[in-house]
Structure 1
Amino acid sequence: MAGKEKPDVVHQNAIHVETIRKELRHQKLHTTFSINPHRKLHILTDKPMSRKPTEVITENTAFTEAFQKAHLEPKKKHAMPQTESQEIGWVSTPLIPTNQRFIFYRTSTDVTKYKESALRASS
Structure 2
Amino acid sequence: MADRSSDRGPPDALQNRFHSERANKERQWQLVFTKYTVNPLQPDEFLNLLHRAVLVPRKKYSEPQTESQEIGWNTTPLVPLDRTDRRFYFPRRITEITIHGYPAPRGEKS
Give the TM-score, by structure 1 length: 0.40
The structure whose Rg is larger is 2
Which protein, 1 or 2, shows the higher relative CO under an 8 Å CA cutoff with sep ≥ 6?
A: 1
